[in-house]
Structure 1
Amino acid sequence: MVVGLVGLAAVTLLAVWLVSLYNKLVRMRNQVDASWSQIDVQLKRRHDLIPNIVETVKGYAAHERGTLDAVVTARGAAMAHSGGDAGQADAESALSGALGRLIALGEAYPQLRANENFAALQAELATTENKIAYSRQFVTYAVQQYNTAIESFPANLIAGLLGFHRRELFAVAGSERGPVEVSF
């Protein structure tokens, strides 16, 4: 009788632990997904600013067609990726580089730099870049916590069986690290 009660108690504790662990991992996975969604919101905001910046620059630097085309192409490639898929970080890095070159045109064209619309767009872009950087930090934290949870003992023994797999960080390639430099 006592052995049966001890066995029942052990099975009950194991079941409670499994349910608790599962719920914790689901919460953490959802936090990772939500943090990726925040990056997507900020990246869409940046993508929406780009046509306005390109149009403003066109009027002042029409012969800089290569730079403008590079920004438009990079924007298209970046918009094709979302939700933390494999190519998103690379596409966004390429877009950041192209935007950096576009904003640098403001230095070469004083009339462009003095344009109120260009200045407002630069400020909006700088704000958006800061929000993207913050969102990336939050994704990194959420992914790190999630990966640690599913790789730590004893959760690692059952995490894979329950469908929890390692998530990748939003990694930005070497020289493209950091937000687009914007100077006034």
Structure 2
Amino acid sequence: MSLFSRLQFYTTVNHLRDLPDTRAEIAFAGRSNAGKSSAINTLANHTRLAFVSKTPGRTQHINYFSFGDEAYLVDLPGYGYAQVPVAVRAHWEKLLGQYLQTRGPLKGLVLLMDSRHPMKDLDVQMLQWFLPTGKPVHVVLTKADKLTRQQQVLALNSVRKALAEHSNCSVQLFSSLKKTGVEELEKAICDWIKID
């Protein structure tokens, strides 16, 4: 049985003081239009587990999904959406930065980027917040079905080159539409949370 098929919504949090006690967490982060909710739904083989919206920026809290065994997938607020009020955006940024830099049970970061527009400034900022922790990062290049095979290879290679100096970073292609890259992503994080 797939690790992700166990996923169930657990709780939503808007302040660090409200974070639950957990054994292991895997954070999913990405720009507001990177396809993060679609990716979570694809992994779980569930159409409505994470809310998918045509309006970017709808995930405004930290959402916890349980794998069981006190391990959680943590869906972080999407970043980079200009239509969000400044005060809300400032709250998100503080929440994201502090969570990524200080959360003990956090075992690794899955950073989702649109394969057509990877390594934007805010993606780089996210990496700069997280890489000093020494924990692993797995970059998932979403919407790969929108690229030709040659464009996919170019995108993959350019991100690998950008992250070459960081031995704790890995990169893959992913498509929610075609359901490609699911096994690779599952394999990449299975060791992080050590579920039997």
TM-score, normalised via structure 2 length: 0.26
Query: Rg: which structure is higher?
Result: 1
**Larger strand proportion, structure 1 or 2?**
2
Q: Which has the higher helix share?
A: 1
If asked which structure has higher relative contact order (CA below 8 Å, sep 6+), I would say 1
